[in-house]
Chains A and B, each alone.
Chain A
Amino acid sequence: MIRGLRRNWNRLLGSIFHRNRDTDLAEELHSHIQMLAEEEIRRGIQPQEAYRRAKLQFGSVESVKESYRDQRGLPVIDALAQDLRYALRGIRRNPAYALVATLSLALGIGANTAIFSLVNSVLLQPLAYKNPHRLFAVREISPLFAALGPVAVNPVHAREWAAQCQSIEQVTLVRGGPAQVAGGTEPVAVPGARVPHNFFSLFGVEPFLGRAFLPEEEQEGNDRVAIISETLWRSRFQADPSLVGKPIIIDGEKHQLAGIVANSFRPPFARTAEVFRPLALSRAESARRTGNHNYAAVVRLKPGFTSEQALAEINVVQAGFGQGMKATLIPLHEIVAGRARQGLWMLAASVGAVLLIVCVNLANLLLSRITSRGREAAIRAALGASRGRQFCQILTESMLIAISGGALGILFANWAIKLLLATATLDIPRLAEVRIDSGVLLFAICLTLLTGILFGALPAWRFTRNQPQSALRAGSHTVTEGRRGLRLREGLIGLEVGLSAALLIVAGLLASSLTRLLQVDKGFDASHVLTLNVGLAGNSYAEPAARERFFDRLLTKVSAIPGVQESGFTTALPAQGDTWNDPIYLEGDGRRREERYPVNNRYASPGFFRAMNIPMRYGRAFEESDRGRSVAVLSDKAAKLLWPGETNPVGRRFIGEDDQPKTLVGIVAEVRAVLDRQPPPTAYYPYWQRPPNAVSMVVRTTAGPFTAAGALRAALRSEDPQLPVQAMQTMEELVDRSVVERRFQLTLMGAFSASALLVASLGIYGIVAYSVARRRNEIGIRMALGARRSQLHWLVIRQGMKPVVIGLVAGIAVALFLGQAIRGLLFEVHPADPVTIAGTAGLLLIVGALACFIPARQTAGGDAIAALRFD
């Protein structure tokens, strides 16, 4: 056993270091024969005869050498080494091909690896929670909000699920909201969340310092405790562990710091939260059995129960809360990946298609090179090379290129991922977890090997299919490819064109979606508008009157800033979400609350409509003179909901979201709450009717929006130096952020489809140029017989375009199917948009015709004699 191992090891070494041994052996054998001969000579034999006898006794030197060689190395390695030498020689002979092939594969494999690492961490890796497969998000289905689809959760309902459902281990709730934290030089406003005491244990996470919340801390009055993130602890509290258990100031109130959670804990629905506080439901909230769908809910199922069982139990409980009440369970994984899922799969499929096109193209290139080596194959076969050996030899060449491309590709992917992570604006969940780990590396290696086989196997198979006799017979100078070979290569071109067409159409659909989205009538004018969030917290603002006074003074100061044309504020900016859905109704409406019209409710200052350039349809905006009067402004749609038949209901009365009567003073145009959705009906009330805790200032400036930033900041500071000044953003930036994901998808899809087009056109050019060269004789004869140049052009182009047209038709069919699959990513564009499809077809036909025309011109440009002489 050991002896056998040692022998194989030495044979392996022998395979690698064998050069000197050949001359060594020759010398050794030579001196052996010499000794034999000398012995004979000493016996008195003539030297010539002595040598003859010596050789006779020794036996065949060549056969010794041969069996020596066979034994010296391992046959597999020797064959491989030989193939590698051939492959390297082939590459050296044609470095341009090897370079293009390696680089295109590097880009293809690199892009695939980068996209896979995204898919892997965002979609495939299990969530970093305990037993994540048992976690589900719950949304309620309520007839009241039928138009909105499933909505957030009422906390009373959630409490009943936990109490009554056998299959549920725990239910937790989350409600996000900002928190102002004092500490350091000035206060900061950070994202926060209100959570029940079981929130951390449900996810299987404990604060690494301190403790989680206690059940009694969910009582109003006991809830002045906080758990903060590691980031906040380090940046604001110098990572001081002794602070745990001591008070810190949040929203102007003393809170006991209960614990610190690690940064790796990114809970769903509170992904960016830095401050967690206990969720203490007010008495009023605990009693509301309808409406109040303001909480996100996550349930953990008991082991052994399915989500169907849990849902059935929850629906039984739901039925008790009103007719038609239901719920839906969504695997937490889908919530976390969210909208990114469909887009990522689309990108992964597309980048795979690009690599496939690259492979097909390389296979085609390799095919034409191999066809010109048909004689070589025939001679080798005639000399006894087995088909297997020939197959392996071609495959070795493609593998060598694939492996170098793959290695480069992994470097490229690493670089691409770093670039992606640096693009901080991209809001893809779990983006921070993206990296090249062993799984991704394994993927890249498998992909590399697959690629090598994919583009090497077909040409290698063709190579071995050559009939030695016919190849040796056909033509004295060249071996031409038969009809079958050409058809195979046309099929490959058709495949390339088809895939490119599908990619181009998808990219085109996305592009027109984004264009339409950017040009959509948002209902407001985002240019020259600066926004700033202002939040009031703490005892000094506990009274509504104090908040009203603060906002009054702030508005006066801001409107006095030079360069500020208009200024105002609202509780929720347009295009930043469909929020605060509560019904408004007419006096004497006997219907139940859930049957009334839900609208988006906003409290705003009079200047808001002018600052955002929201057009007035009828009447006027509310004004300072309306103080003390109960007034409101409705959007067109909201007014139509209340008074369907009236064109101008200004002056009529209705009941607002606070159940108080309002007089309608004006009707404004629709404003989009979510950019890619139809605008919701909206009601606006003057802020003094219910002074809010947090608003977004909007300031329209004459010059660039940031010219007012310094003065705005100073105005806020002078009003209350304890208030954190949050980052200012232009309205355009905010709008842009809601299309950043689409832009990302479109950029990548654009790059993918452009490279597909490029590669495919190179492929078309290659095959046409090749077939033109092959038919040079024929073309020469046609010219000599008087064919016109244009006729010859047409001849070549017609033949070259045949696979393009077939591929195009197939590609459009595929794209129609794909369009349905990516419907959710489109905006106001039909998946079978005729303009996009026609444009793509036109582009491909033009590019294809160009790729055919260039080689066609070259041949027909020469004279007949030269073409006839050419072999």
Chain B
Amino acid sequence: MSTKAEVWQGTLALMVLKTLHAMGTQHGFGIARRIEQTSDNLLSINHGTLYPILLKLEQEGAIKSEWGVSENNRRARFYSITRSGLKQLAAEVDQWERATEIVARFVALKDSKA
């Protein structure tokens, strides 16, 4: 078994948005690598799973894309966050923080039997 963590349901979109927000325009490969690096390679993702999420975000208008040329002279699609994506990101970060806070309270709960 790998020691690497699985991606929690629904958090990949947040990671993509945050990555694009932090790094600016980026292609799919770059986003995947960056997510792995940010997690200190603790997180393992199948790069392919990124694409349906990119499509969903683009359909929602959170990101936009256009074709360009990569640093290695390869044609690639470059994604960037949009204004409404920024709003969505803020909302999701907020929601995430609240969720982790609630979970943290449960974790911190004293054992009543003691």
Residues on A close to B: CB < 8 A? 3, 6-7, 10-11, 14, 24-25, 27-29, 31-32, 34-36, 38, 57-61, 63-64, 67-68, 71-72
Contact = CB atoms under 8 A, between A and B. Distances in A.
By CB atoms of chain A within 10 A, which of B29, B48, B49, B56 has the most? B48
Nearest to B56: A71
Contacts, number: 70
B55 interface: yes
Contact of A64 (B32, B52, B70): B52
B11 interface: no
Nearest to B61: A6
Contact of A35 (B48, B52, B72, B77): B72
A3 B70 CA distance: 31
B79 to A, nearest CB: 11
B88 interface: yes
B47 A27 contact: no
A25 B51 CA distance: 9
A32 B26 CA distance: 12
Interface in B40-96: 46-49, 51-52, 55-56, 58-61, 70, 72, 74-77, 88
A489 B59 CA distance: 50
Closest 9 CB pairs of A and B: A59-B46, A59-B48, A10-B59, A64-B48, A35-B29, A7-B59, A58-B47, A67-B52, A7-B60
Given A10-B58, A27-B75, A72-B55, 8 more contacts: A6-B61, A11-B59, A28-B76, A28-B77, A35-B70, A59-B49, A64-B48, A64-B49
B29 A36 contact: yes
Contact of B61 (A3, A24, A63): A3
Contacts of B52: 64, 67-68, 71
Contacts of A34: 74
A58 B61 CA distance: 26
Interface residues of B, number: 23
Contact of A32 (B47, B55, B72): B47
Nearest to B87: A3
A695 B47 CA distance: 103
Contacts of B46: 57-59
B25 to A, nearest CB: 15
Interface of B: 27-29, 32, 46-49, 51-52, 55-56, 58-61, 70, 72, 74-77, 88
B10 to A, nearest CB: 14
Contact of A36 (B47, B58, B59, B77): B47
Contacts of B49: 59, 64
Given A34-B74, A59-B49, A64-B48, A71 B60 contact: no
A252 B88 CA distance: 89
A73 to B, nearest CB: 10
Nearest to B49: A59
A68 B55 contact: yes
B56 A7 contact: yes
A28 B27 CA distance: 9
Nearest to B72: A38
Given A27-B75, A32-B29, A35-B72, A60 B59 contact: no
A727 B51 CA distance: 86
B54 to A, nearest CB: 9
A64 to B, nearest CB: 4
Contact of A29 (B48, B60, B74): B48
Nearest to A24: B77
By CB atoms of chain A within 10 A, which of B28, B51, B70, B72 has the most? B51
A718 to B, nearest CB: 91
Given A31-B76, A32-B29, A68 B51 contact: yes
A213 to B, nearest CB: 71
A35 B75 contact: no
Contacts of A35: 29, 70, 72, 74, 76
B48 A61 contact: yes
B92 to A, nearest CB: 11
Contacts of B27: 31-32
Contacts of A31: 27, 29, 70, 74-76
Contacts of A63: 48
A29 B28 CA distance: 9
Contacts of B60: 3, 6-7, 10
B3 to A, nearest CB: 17
A25 B47 CA distance: 14
A615 to B, nearest CB: 93
Contacts of A68: 51-52, 55
A28 B48 CA distance: 11
A57 to B, nearest CB: 6
